[in-house]
Amino acid sequence: MPGHLSGKVAIVTGSSSGIGQSIATRLAADGATVVIDYRNHPEGAEETKKQIEAAGGKGITLQADVSSLVDVQRLVDEAWQQLGSCDILVNNAGIEKSADFWDVTEQDYDAVLDVNLKGVFFLTQAFVRHLREAKRPGRIINISSVHEDMAFPHFSTYCASKGGLRMLARTLAVELGPLGITINNIAPGAIMTPINKKLLDDKPKLNALLKNIPLGRMGMPEDVAAIAAFLASDDAAYITGSTYVIDGGLTVNYHEQ
């Protein structure tokens, strides 16, 4: 719905590629000014900005590693300084590392938890502190995963982080409701993005996965962006503490033999 987010400012983390790039472009097309956060791909962030401008929207790029407390504080401070407010936060940045549970290293555990859970926690805290001080409402949207609920063997760190996001959203919905701030999760299934490069290159594995998806295809980043746009809109004003699954039916798939 073009224009329905005009006057709003949205930060989208990790928006130099994949789902984040699509959400940034969609929120901008809907009227928001978007802060395109990136960690180490300025060229991807510039591409997002180009896509936003081609859609008639506005965006600025800011470098911030969400796993750094200094960086997340600076990200929110700069958004307020440059754009005058910050109304919507999309915690999208995320990574995954595969290993048998007994082989997971402390380094890999820290890498995944620091981006996917600690990053979300402290960026959200910085975002909320500004809103609270300004007495303004806000929207928080976390890109979690079907794996906030569904087992994913050999990705125990990823599941621990996304499961953490599930309870973080529920608890913060209660704590932030009186401030007029909502928080919801989007839980995508298999989406066509660079995070799935290995899977996309492995045809037998990909075909086995597709057989488990009732809609018979992987999701597109734009499918996820459409829910983010809804959750950022006035139509979603009374929704908080929920998870929106978008997986082509993957998690409810069941067949009698």
CB of 17 to ligand NAD, least distance (A): 4
Is 185 a residue that touches ligand NAD (CB under 6 A)? no
> Residue 86: phi, psi to the nearest 5?
-160, 110
The Cα–Cα gap between 95 and 46 comes to 21
Q: Evaluate whether 90 touches 229 at the Cβ level (below 8 Å).
A: no
Residue list 111-130, contact with ligand NAD (CB under 6 A)? 115
Is 61 a residue that touches ligand NAD (CB under 6 A)? no
Closest CA to 144 of 8, 19, 11: 19
**Helix/strand/coil for 9:** strand
Q: CA neighbours within 13 Å on the CB side: how many for 128?
A: 19
Give the interface segment with ligand NAD, choosing from 10-18, 73-81, 166-174, 248-256 (CB under 6 A): 10-18
Q: Which of 109, 158, 238, 244 is catalytic?
A: 158
Q: Which of 60, 113, 195, 210 binds ligand NAD (CB under 6 A)?
A: 195
Report which DSSP code applies to 117.
I
The Cα–Cα gap between 41 and 7 comes to 28
CB of 65 to ligand NAD, least distance (A): 4
CB of 1 to ligand NAD, least distance (A): 23
Q: What angle do CA 193, 164, 199 make, to 5 degrees?
A: 25
Spell out, one character per residue from 133 to 172, where the chain touches ligand NAD: x when CB under 6 A holds, - when not: ----------x-x---------------------------
Q: Which of 10, 11, 12, 16 binds ligand NAD (CB under 6 A)?
A: 16
Does 158 participate in catalysis according to the annotation?
yes
CB of 180 to ligand NAD, least distance (A): 26
Closest CA to 140 of 30, 62, 29, 243: 243
CB of 172 to ligand NAD, least distance (A): 17
Total interface residues for ligand NAD by CB under 6 A: 27
Output the CA–CA distances (angstroms, integers) from residue 28 to 4, 12, 82, 93, 231, in the order listed.
Answer: 10, 11, 17, 18, 14
Catalytic residues: 158
Chain residues that interact with ligand NAD, rule: CB under 6 A: 13-14, 16-20, 37, 39, 41, 65-67, 92-95, 115, 143, 145, 188, 190-191, 193-196
